[in-house]
Each structure stands twice: as structure tokens, then as C-alpha cells.
């Protein structure tokens, strides 16, 4: 077989050349530029989530464990050894905050949220990049970091939208666990993207939430929807659904 016959097709050779050039360009980039850009994207995704989910001041979620962690931090900071129900690692990190903020978790929440966002989030991204780079070089480290940021952004976009519905039985609940009824057509809409089976008002509300959670990050329409959602412009749709929705025929969350 001649060397001419064994040569790859031009399209394959051209694609291979472009791939090598792209790889060389990526490897030549300074990690600070790449990781800095990814960190900005990650911060924007967190900001979008913070602006769209319901919260009470700095309190975004209360599952119960945070009370043990912070109580442990406060006790450790004052020379006591608390029970290790949830371990000591996070409590030790929170000790300086507990010394300043005092025994009330709510007073320490701004510091805790900023610590997670401004310090630990970048540290996690750097760790993922460093592990990938040590395994297979800088290019693989960039790849691992991109996957990490994509995973974070995707989880933020999939914030549970039924949290905006009221608790099914206000008399029976415990902290961090609120039973809610799944509206008719909700699971079908989540699985297929087709919301036609939902109540008309709830469908319009769901479509707004879907735009806010899953739309292009800096799309002007999405940004307008975020502002309108937080100003209560769509609350009437939810109230209309709750007035007309049947109390049966819905499964619990």
C-alpha cells in the first residue's frame, strides 16, 4: 500500500490540525485567566439562584444540621467540647465567626454565606482543577474545572420550583421537611418540557420559573423575568391557581 493511499482524508486531517491547534492554545493560556473566567460564571450562577429562590433575609435553607454545626462552633470557641453529632470539621471553621456573632445563628449567616461564596467556592474550583492537572496535565484540569462549573450551574437551574407552593398541611411539618402536593401535569412537564397538562395559570407561572432557572444566563428577557418575579408581578397567577385547584388528585412531594 502506498503512503498516498494510506493518508487520512483531508477533512479528518484538517479536523485533527484544528484540534491540535485548539489544544495548544488552551494549554498556553495562563490558569489564572481560565479559572478566573470560570469562577465569574460560577458566581453569576449562584447570584441568579439567590435572586430567584424564596428566602428569609440571609436564611436560604434550614434542615436542622446547621444548628448543631453552629452550636458546636460557639461552644468550641468558648472552651467547651460539644457532642459530635455532625462532626467537628465545619464547627472548627466557624469558630471565628461564632466568637464575633455570638450564639445566634441568624447573626452569623451573612458571614457564613460570604465565606461559602467568596472563599470556599473558589477553593473548590481550584482543587478540582489541581486534581485534574495532576492526573493528566493542564488541559485535563481545565476540562475537569469546566465540568465542575457546569454541574454547579445545572444544579442551581434545577432548584425545586414547587417550593413556591404552600405547605399541604400547615399543622404537620418539621424544619427542612415540608410536604407539598404535586400539581397535575407537573411531573410530565419536568420530564418532557410540555406543560400543557397543567392548570393554565400555573403553567404560565411554571414557564416563568423555567425561563429564570434554565434560560441563558444574561438573556435580557430572563433578567426582566427575575426582576418581575422578585417584585411579585406573577404572584397573581399562583394565587389564582390556588383558589381554583382541586384539593384531591394530587400526589405528595
Q: What is the pLDDT of residue 134?
A: 92
8-state DSSP, 39: H
Residue 209 to residues 59, 154, 213: CA-CA distances in angstroms?
21, 14, 6
> For residues 206 and 198, is the Cβ–Cβ distance under 8 A?
yes
The pLDDT tens digits for 161-170 are: 566 677 777 7
Q: Name the residue ranges covered by the structural domains of the chain.
A: 29-159, 164-252
Is the pLDDT at 250 greater than 50? The verdict is no
pTM here? 0.60
Mean pLDDT of the chain: 80
User: What separation, in Å, do the N-terminal and C-terminal C-alpha atoms of the chain show?
Assistant: 66
Is the pLDDT at 40 greater than 70? The verdict is yes
Question: How far apart are the C-alpha atoms of 206 and 161, rounded to whole Å?
Answer: 8
**Hey, is 99 helix, strand or coil?**
helix
The pLDDT tens digits for 197-230 are: 888 988 888 888 888 877 887 788 988 888 888 7
Amino acid at each position: 500500500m502506498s503512503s498516498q493511499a494510506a493518508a487520512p482524508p483531508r477533512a479528518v486531517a484538517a479536523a485533527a490540525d484544528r484540534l491540535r491547534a485548539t489544544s495548544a492554545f488552551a494549554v498556553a493560556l495562563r490558569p489564572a485567566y481560565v479559572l478566573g473566567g470560570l469562577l465569574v460564571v460560577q458566581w453569576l450562577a449562584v447570584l441568579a439562584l439567590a435572586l430567584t429562590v424564596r428566602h428569609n433575609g440571609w436564611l436560604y435553607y434550614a434542615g436542622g444540621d446547621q444548628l448543631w454545626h453552629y452550636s458546636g462552633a460557639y461552644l468550641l470557641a468558648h472552651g467547651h467540647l460539644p457532642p459530635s453529632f455532625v462532626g467537628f470539621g465545619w464547627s472548627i471553621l466557624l469558630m471565628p465567626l461564632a466568637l464575633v456573632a455570638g450564639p445566634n445563628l441568624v447573626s452569623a449567616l451573612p458571614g457564613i454565606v460570604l465565606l461559602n461564596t467568596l472563599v470556599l467556592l473558589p477553593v473548590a474550583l481550584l482543587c478540582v482543577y489541581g486534581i485534574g492537572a495532576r492526573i493528566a496535565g493542564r488541559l485535563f484540569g481545565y476540562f475537569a474545572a469546566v465540568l465542575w462549573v457546569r454541574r454547579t450551574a445545572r444544579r442551581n437551574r434545577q432548584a425545586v420550583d414547587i417550593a413556591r407552593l404552600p405547605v399541604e398541611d400547615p399543622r404537620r411539618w418539621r424544619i427542612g421537611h415540608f410536604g407539598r402536593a404535586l400539581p397535575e401535569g407537573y411531573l410530565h412537564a419536568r420530564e418532557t418540557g410540555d406543560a400543557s397538562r397543567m392548570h393554565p395559570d400555573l403553567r404560565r407561572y411554571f414557564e416563568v420559573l423555567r425561563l429564570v432557572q434554565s434560560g441563558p444566563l444574561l438573556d435580557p428577557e430572563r433578567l426582566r423575568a427575575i426582576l418581575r418575579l422578585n417584585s411579585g408581578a406573577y404572584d397573581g397567577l399562583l394565587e389564582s391557581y390556588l383558589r381554583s385547584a382541586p384539593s384531591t388528585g394530587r400526589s405528595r412531594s
